Chains A and B, each alone.
Chain A
Amino acid sequence: MPDTPQVKSSFSWQIKKPIAGPIILALAAVFCAVFPLFGSTGTLRLMNEIMALMIMAQAWNLLAGFTGFVSIGQQAFIGIGAYGLFVTSIETGLNPFAAVFLGGLAAAVVGILSAPALFRLRGPYFAIGTWVLAELFRIVILNTQKFGSGSGLTLARVIKTIPREYRTSGTYWVALFLTVFTIFLVYFLLRSRFGLAVRTVRDNEASAESVGVNILRIKFIVFIISAFLTGCAGAISYLNTMFINPYATFSVEWSALLIFVVIIGGIGTIEGPFIGVLFYFFLRETLSDFGTWYIIALGLVAIAMMLFVPNGLWGMVSKRFNINLFPTGATVVMKKG
Chain B
Amino acid sequence: MIAWIDTLIQGVLLGGFFALSGLGLSLSFGIMHIVNIAHGDFLVVAAYLCLVICGLFGLNPLLAIIIVIPLMFLFGYALQKTILNKGVDGGELSPLLITFGLSIILHNLLQEFFSADAKSLDVGAFEVASLNIGPLHIGWLPITILVTTLVVYYILHQIMESTKFGMIVRATVDDPEITSLMGVDTKKINCLGMGLSMTIVGIAGTLFGIKSSFFPLAGGLQLLFAFEAVIIGGMGSIWGTLLGGMSLGIAQTIGYRIGSGWGEFAGHLVFFLFLLLKPSGLLSKETQHA
Q: Which residues of A contact B (CB under 8 A)?
A: 68, 70, 72, 116-118, 120-125, 127-129, 131-132, 135-136, 139-140, 142-143, 252-253, 255-256, 259-260, 263, 291-293, 295-296, 299-300, 302-303, 306-307, 310
Whether the pair B268, A121 counts as a contact (CB closer than 8 A) is no
A131, B261: Cβ atoms closer than 8 Å: no
Q: Is B102 an interface position by the 8 A CB rule? A: yes
Contact A306 B97 (CB under 8 A): yes
A117 pairs with B96, CB closer than 8 A: no
B265 within 8 A of A: yes
Pick the interface stretch among B43-51, B82-90, B141-149, B192-200: B82-90
A68 to B221, CA, bound (A): 25
Q: Does B227 contact A (CB under 8 A)?
A: yes
How many of chain B's residues have a CB under 8 angstroms from any CB in A? Answer: 45
B262 CB-CB contact with A under 8 Å: yes
With a cutoff of 8 Å between Cβ atoms, the chain B residues found around residue A123 in the complex are 35, 92-93, 289-290
The residue in B86, B94, B275 that gathers the most chain A C-beta atoms within 10 A of its C-beta is B275
Give A116 to B87 CA distance when docked, in angstroms. 31
Min CB–CB distance B26 → chain A (angstroms): 12
Closest Cβ neighbor of A123 among chain B residues: B92
- Shortest distance in angstroms between A300's beta carbon and chain B's nearest beta carbon? 7
**Which 9 pairs, one residue from A and one from B, show the smallest C-beta to C-beta distance?**
A124-B35, A299-B105, A120-B279, A303-B101, A143-B261, A117-B275, A139-B265, A256-B104, A292-B108
Give every chain A residue within 8 A of B221 (Cβ-Cβ).
135
Q: Is the CB of B288 within 8 A of A122?
A: yes
Docked CA distance A48–B109 (Å)? 29
B275 to chain A, nearest CB (A): 4
A135 and B224 contacting across the interface, CB-CB below 8 Å:
yes
Residue of B112, B231, B262, B290 touching A139 (CB-CB under 8 A): B262
Contact (Cβ within 8 A) A295 B289: no
What B residues does A124 contact at CB under 8 A? 35, 92-93, 96
Q: Are A125 and B289 touching (Cβ within 8 A)?
A: yes
Chosen A-B contacts, 6 in total, with CB atoms closer than 8 Å, are: A123-B92, A132-B268, A135-B268, A136-B269, A139-B262, A293-B108
A302 nearest CB across to chain B (Å): 5
Task: Specify the chain A residue showing the minimal Cβ separation from B34.
Answer: A124
A131 / chain B contacts, CB cutoff of 8 Å? 220, 224
> B272 to chain A: which residues have CB within 8 Å?
117, 132, 136
- Whether A70 lies near B93 (C-beta < 8 A) is yes
Q: Are B276 and A120 in contact (CB under 8 A)?
A: yes
Chain A interface, DSSP helix/strand/loop, else mixed: helix
Partner of B98, one of A72, A136, A295, A306: A306
Q: In whole angstroms, how far apart are the Cα atoms of A131 and B225 in the complex?
A: 11
Is B271 interfacial (CB 8 A cutoff)? yes
Q: How far is the CA of A145 from the CA of B98 in the complex (A)?
A: 38
User: How far is it, in angstroms, between the C-alpha of A117 and the C-alpha of B273 when the chains are bound?
Assistant: 8
State which residues 54-101 of B face A: CB under 8 Å: 83, 86-87, 90, 92-94, 96-98, 100-101
Interchain CB contact (< 8 A) of A291 among B87, B93, B112, B288:
B112
Q: How far is the CA of A295 from the CA of B103 in the complex (A)?
A: 11
Residue of B nearest to A142 (CB): B261
Q: Cβ of A295: which chain B residues have Cβ within 8 Å of it?
A: 104-105, 108
CB distance from A29 to the nearest CB of B (A): 32
Contact B289 A306 (CB under 8 A): no
Q: Which of B96, B262, B276 sits near A70, CB closer than 8 Å?
A: B96
Taking a contact as CB atoms under 8 Å apart, the answer to whether B97 and A263 are in contact is yes
Closest A-chain residue to B273, C-beta based? A117
Does A307 contact B87, Cβ atoms closer than 8 Å? Answer: yes
Question: By the criterion CB–CB under 8 Å, are A132 and B228 in contact?
Answer: yes
Chain A residues, CB < 8 A from B254: none
Considering the chains assembled together, what is the distance between the CA atoms of A306 and B88 in angstroms?
11
Beta-carbon contact of B90 and A306 below 8 Å: yes
Bound together, the chains give a CA A267 to CA B129 distance in angstroms of 54
- A128, B225: Cα distance in complex, Å: 11
In the complex, A118 Cα to B268 Cα: how many Å?
13
| Docked-complex contact B261 and A128, CB < 8 angstroms | no
Contact for A296 among B35, B105, B220, B223, CB less than 8 A:
B105
Which A residues are CB-close (under 8 A) to B104?
253, 256, 260, 295, 299
- Beyond A120-B276, A135-B221, A306-B97, whether A128 also contacts B227 by CB under 8 A is yes
Q: Which residue of the partner chain, among B101, B112, B223, contacts A292 with CB atoms under 8 Å? A: B112
> Is B35 touching A127 in the complex (CB atoms < 8 A)?
yes
Given contacts A293-B112, A303-B102, A303-B105, 10 further A-B contacts (CB under 8 A): A117-B272, A120-B275, A123-B289, A128-B37, A132-B268, A135-B224, A142-B261, A143-B265, A303-B101, A307-B83
Do A132 and B261 touch (CB < 8 A)?
no
Complex CA distance for A31 and B220, rounded to whole angstroms: 42
Contact present for A259 and B97 (CB under 8 Å): yes
Residues of B with C-beta under 8 A to A68: 93
- Contact indicator B275/A121 (Cβ below 8 Å): yes
Contact A72 B37 (CB under 8 A): yes
Asked whether B262 lies within 8 Å of A143 as measured between CB atoms, the reply is: yes
A132 to B271, CA, bound (A): 9
B96 nearest CB neighbor, chain A only:
A124
Task: Report the Cα distance A123→B86, complex, angstroms.
Answer: 19
A122 touches B262 (CB 8 A): no
The answer for the CA separation of A320 and B224 in the assembled complex, in Å, is 42
Given the complex of chains A and B, what is the CA–CA distance between A142 and B265 in angstroms? 11
In angstroms, Cα B89 to Cα A310, docked, is 11
Cross-interface CB contact of B289 among A121, A136, A255, cutoff 8 Å: A121
